[in-house]
Amino acid sequence: MQLCHQEEQLHTSDLNCDEDEKQDEEDEDLPSFLENERKPTPIRQGMFVWYKLRKFPFWPSWVKSVNHKQKKASVLFIDNPKIYTRKGFAVALKALKPFDCEEFQDLESQAKENYQDIIVWSLELISDYRMRIACRSFSGSFIEYCAHDMSHPVMKTFPQGVSVSPTVTSNEAIEPLSREGEDKISEPQEDTSRTQKRLLPDRSHAAHDRANEKLVNFIVKQRMAEERLLAVIHGHQQSSWYQHFQRARGRRVVNTYLEDQKQLDEVYCYLNELYTTAAATTSSLRKLKFIDLVTFILDVLLPEAIISAIAGVDKISLQKAEEKFLRGRSISARESQELNVMIERYMQSK
């Protein structure tokens, strides 16, 4: 009985082996082109790609937008820390290679032959961005990342003295295509894979002006700071601003705090009238020349009036109000970025 049972097990195992061999043979009979066939990776907005410009090797790039109808993409070379200030140029989709393609090692080696430092920097920038996206420490686009302080650790490692990069030639070689293609690509298309984010206006400046309107009303319409201002004018109230005014020589930088010209004019006219009236009714108060009066109003009366208004509106002490006045308005990140771009363009135009 035991032998029969063992023979039955052996027979069953032989059948299983035969079935496995048949399955292997069937798998081997499949055409090889079906096994190796892979669908090409579609080019999408926000992808990293390789693009070759003549006289340069394939270069790490970023897809700014895609127009599938025209089979074109707007591309930016990753070759400069100020990449976020540039406009893309239009290229054919078929000219782009996905960044993580099978040829990655070869493309990287070829690019590093003559541009070792800048290629290493661009690859580190891409790697850092991808890592932060994966860790969810950043959720914006690559351009937003480049403009953000989060990219500063990598940005500051940009190799100094690098003057040769595809950007220099690309603006000349593809300028007609850039002007024609960029406008078309920027138009909203139904075929685009992802619509670009709409950049909302920066409202910090407007909010500051609205807050300052309360200060102007406190000074001009309600005249709540008038008693202190008259005391400063007649010398009955000690003022550090008046002491600075007496010691100052030459040109001075005036902190007006008010950025809206209309608000500043309204307060200045009120202070000018206040001093003129006080000088006309008080014989002991010497009359200042026009240029001295302007300086006195801007250097003494204006800071005193605004500090008093800040203290009254915010219900804080004069000391804290003066600290707030000296700090001025906090500049938003976008304003700082726009200012840096303006300075850079101005320096380049000189």
Strands 96-98 and 89-92: unpaired
Q: Nearest Cα to 75, choosing from 156, 145, 161, 174?
A: 174
Structure tokens at 135: 């860790």
Contact 241, 325 (CB under 8 A): no
Which secondary-structure segment (H or E) carries 172? helix 166-173
Residues 6+ apart with CB under 8 A from 296: 245, 275, 288
**Buried-state track 9-40, b at ≥16 Cβ within 10 A, e below 16:** eeeeeeeeeeeeeeeeeeeeeeeeeeeeeeee
**How distant is the alpha carbon of residue 94 from its chain centre?**
31
Count of C-beta atoms within a 10 Å radius of residue 65 = 22
pLDDT at 30: 45
Contact 73, 96 (CB under 8 A): yes
Total residue count of the chain as it appears in this document: 350
Helices (runs of H) and strands (runs of E) counted in the chain: 15, 5
In the sheet where 58-67 sits, what is the strand order? Answer: 89-92, 72-77, 58-67, 48-52, 96-98
Contact 126, 46 (CB under 8 A): no
Secondary-structure class of domain 47-156 per CATH:
mainly beta
pLDDT at 4: 47
pLDDT at 152: 85
pLDDT at 284: 67
pTM beyond 0.85: no
Tokens 């990753």, residue?
A: 78
Alpha-carbon distance of 153 to 124, in angstroms, equals 11
Coil, strand, or helix at residue 161? coil
pLDDT at 29: 47
Per-residue DSSP letter, 30: S
Tens digit of pLDDT at every position of the chain (350 positions): 444 444 455 445 554 545 555 444 444 444 444 444 456 678 889 999 999 887 888 989 999 999 988 889 999 888 888 888 888 888 898 889 999 888 899 999 988 888 888 899 889 999 888 888 888 888 888 988 888 888 888 888 888 765 555 654 434 334 333 333 444 444 333 343 444 445 555 677 778 888 899 999 999 999 999 999 999 988 888 888 888 887 765 555 667 788 888 999 999 999 999 998 888 887 666 666 766 888 888 889 999 999 999 999 999 999 999 998 888 877 777 777 777 777 877 777 76
Domains of the chain, by residue range, sit at: 47-156, 204-327
Alpha-carbon distance of 140 to 296, in angstroms, equals 49
